[in-house]
Structure 1
């Protein structure tokens, strides 16, 4: 149930975004009340495409910093706002431009395939980007003999490459929310719910992924539940994903693989911050052209490969 003050703030946001013609894009990991006021909700890939297709010239991105940057990279003629510029991703920030350039210097004919969960500067020195929903599709299209540097999430890289029997170079970094989940966590839940389907995000460690009935992106997990006749599911990704699933499937039982699967940066965005951002048209995200142009090439190549 929405508290009275939250309801009032929600109404103010809906009115304000209409008056100022601002399009709100939110990630599935956002809090429920934020998903409710968004014009579009999706995973990282869908958010990037939605930014390009936005009917408004001003976009507010309810997500971590690299998501707002991706919108700014792809939409140079639009104004992109973030309600919380400090919301970030530890894994995305783990790799430096120097490390990428040193790899490219060592292997001149290599292909740098970077997760969209990276800063604009990393995208700018990448050959192509990917998301968890399209990583396999893109990797399949790269030459079999290519020297690939798949960065920065080692679990996404390992799980994707293993399924395709491809060799890739990885970077020692992972998502602290997904990587903390252990095989024993799933085993305990399977003892209690033996018939439950286990749905796992590929940012989880390989031992967890091996126990899954389905491995896929946030949107993939949602679609799996929506289209499955089973009524009980163990969800191994950030907790925000359960909200759209429950809305579409009120009679299905969802069990979080761990109560700790909560991203503090995603959850740092609030209705009040969104209201303030809309009202004051801040904080505006800008990417310098010398970074934006090569980063856009990597993102647009990703979209072209998967469209």
Structure 2
């Protein structure tokens, strides 16, 4: 006989309760990991918890300042451990899921495999993981978050090795990425949106941006959110950032429209400097050229490259 008594729902914690619990945990996490930056009350525990693995690995010494706050993640200027050969590094720390305001990422995830914490694709016959994702359980939310973060890190690794203008990836943890820092001890590099280029710089940096777009396409990637807000400028050079939404050129049915949007945003920015490029024609040309390259072609190129290195 079925129990007719109504089931009691688990009470949801309020935002204030969550903040209080995070603050209570902060004291324990600070042991042995003292930072110069003074985080806000709600920020302290998740910041220390997220960056502690880098401290334990001996690649990070201190957190100096927050250089960018966002609804999805914040970025911090940090003191690197001398073993890295660097003085400063940047740490991108994702906000706790309770407070995060992620964009609708479904359009970008289409055609992407689920990545595990080691950066490898999850097995499709892992039924527990797939059910959790479908039902959007807490475990499923964590799996989706890990995959989102690992796409950014693994994309940075591939593009950096290929010679793209991206930050050097240094380490990854459950909730953070440690990478090369662009700027100096007083100021982080501004975005192109915040920068006024000279007449000589604009054509050169437009060409460099397109070089990076094409390099991504060669590897089957589309940035997905490319604009003057996601390109840093420092001492006459640019650096592309923010890759968690990287889109598959060959496996995403929205790839063409996503590429066209990226190209339009870039052309719109450089148009203010008198660069007359037709974004529709440029996007169509790139699409036609790079969709002829299949994943099998890329695999053959990788194998050929490895064979050449061995000889």
Give the TM-score range, shorter chain.
Answer: under 0.3
Query: Which TM-score applies when normalising by structure 1?
Result: 0.24
Query: Which TM-score applies when normalising by structure 2?
Result: 0.24
Structure with bigger RCO (C-alpha 8 Å, 6+ apart): 1
Q: Which has the larger radius of gyration?
A: 2
